[in-house]
Structure formats: structure tokens, C-alpha cells
Amino acid sequence: MTNLYYIEDDQNIALAVKEYLEPRNFKVTICATLSEAKRRLEEKVPACILLDWNMPDGRGDRLCQWIRSKWKELPILFLTVHSDSVDIVSGFKSGADDYVVKPFELEVLYSRIRAVLRRTGNVAEQYLSCDGILIDQNRHAVFCHAKEIPLSAAEYQLLSYLMQNKGRTVTREKILEQVWDVKGSYVNDNTLTVTMKRLRDKLSQPACLKTIRSVGYRMEDTI
């Protein structure tokens, strides 16, 4: 299922789009304000964004610029009531990939979404997330509630492995095998304990990183 954020304050339009797209293999999250959209983006990156121009707390092009400063490849479709206005020009200048004019046919919107995803691919696969922790796998960068966190190579590999197995309990033996031994770097069990402690400290003791006593660890969403 493809995750999509629809940033729209008109609930009737938003629900109509959600009801149309979800049977077509999209999971649609509705954001009624720009601030809500920012919060959700900092927690999880979707495959695509539908962005209304006029929102209660600002203009869509401002959010588009903010998104482009963080996720350059994330596809954005503007929804605007003007077919030939300065809004569209401003939208493309701020980084939008396409636009759809209101009122629109749901079939047309669906077609535009599919077209932009074919061009860009599923950008969301580049990112791993759990609660407010985000890994950009292309850049090997880690963010905690939008703040970049510097990690050692071992800390990054440990977090990445747990994120890749989110929702599953991973044994200490399996972590040692996959994070260290697979590279020919044999270490003892205490190395994992010390690395985990440092990782937790740097991430401010996240609730989503759980210790399963006498077994191993598990990452799972808590919010």
C-alpha cells in the first residue's frame, strides 16, 4: 500500500479523495493544517503529497519550499482553484511536480498521482522511520524529531538493522551476527550493550526502542 499525505482543510473534499484512493491501494492521511503536515512529515515520509494552496495557517508554496529543503525527491502535487494564475507559477518555483485544478475529477487526480509516482519512484523507500526517528538511507543520516543526530558507524548500523526489522523482536545473537560478524569483525556481547546504551542516549531514550529481557530488542511505533 502506498502512503500519501493530503494537506487539505475542506473535510468534504479530503474525505471524498480518501474514499476514492484507498480502495486503489493508497493509504491516505489527511492533514487539516500546514503545522500538522510538518509534524507528520518529521515522523514518517510518505510516497507522495497532495497540497492545497490556501490553508488556515499559511500558503501551500511555503510548505513546499520547506519540504524541498529536507526531501528534494518527494513528489508534490498542488491543488488550486485557479487554472492560469500566479499560484501555479509560484507552486512550480517552490518545487511542485504537478498541479490539478479544482474542481477536479477523481479519475484525473488518480491518473496524475500515478504518473508522478512512475516518474519519481517510491521515494518513501529511501527512509526508515519509527515514532520521531528517521533514517535517510541514501545520505546515511539520522534525525530525531527533525534534529540531525551524529552517530558512529556501529550505532548507525545497529539502528538501521532494528528499523529494517521494525515490529519484530531481534535476538542479541542475530544483531551481533548481522551488524558485526557479517563484516568479519568479531566482538563480544558487551560491545552490543555499550553501543545500545550510547545509541539510546543520543536518541534521548526513545520509548519505541524496547529491550526484550533475556532475548534482544524490538523497535515499534508507540504514537
Annotated domain spans of the chain: 2-121, 127-219
* 173 CB-side CA count, 13 A: 2
Query: How does pLDDT run across 207-218, given as a tens digit for each residue?
Result: 999 999 999 999
Q: Is the pLDDT higher at 102 or at 84?
A: 102
Q: What is the mean pLDDT of the chain?
A: 89
The reply to whether 127-219 shares the fold of 2-121 is no
The CATH fold of domain 127-219: Arc Repressor Mutant, subunit A (1.10.10)
CATH class of 2-121: alpha beta
Q: What is the pLDDT of residue 179?
A: 87
- The beta-carbon contacts of 160-164 under 8 Å, at least 24 apart in sequence, are 160/128, 160/135, 162/209, 162/217, 162/218, 162/219, 163/128, 163/129, 163/130, 163/133, 163/135, 163/219, 164/128
Most confident residue range from 22-36, 86-100, 178-192: 22-36
Identify the weakest region by mean pLDDT among 14-23, 78-87, 186-195. 78-87
* Confidence category of residue 46, pLDDT binned at 50, 70, 90: very high
pLDDT surpasses 80 at 85: no
Query: How does pLDDT run across 145-193, given as a tens digit for each residue?
Result: 888 999 999 999 999 999 999 999 999 999 998 888 766 566 778 899 9
Q: Is the CB of residue 210 less than 8 Å from the CB of residue 130?
A: no
Identify the weakest region by mean pLDDT among 30-34, 86-90, 106-110, 194-198. 86-90
**β partners of residue 170:** 217
Query: How does pLDDT run across 114-132, given as a tens digit for each residue?
Result: 999 998 877 878 899 898 8
Q: What is the pLDDT of residue 145?
A: 85
List CB contacts of 57: < 8 A, sequence separation 6 or more. 33, 34, 35
Q: What is the pLDDT of residue 89?
A: 57
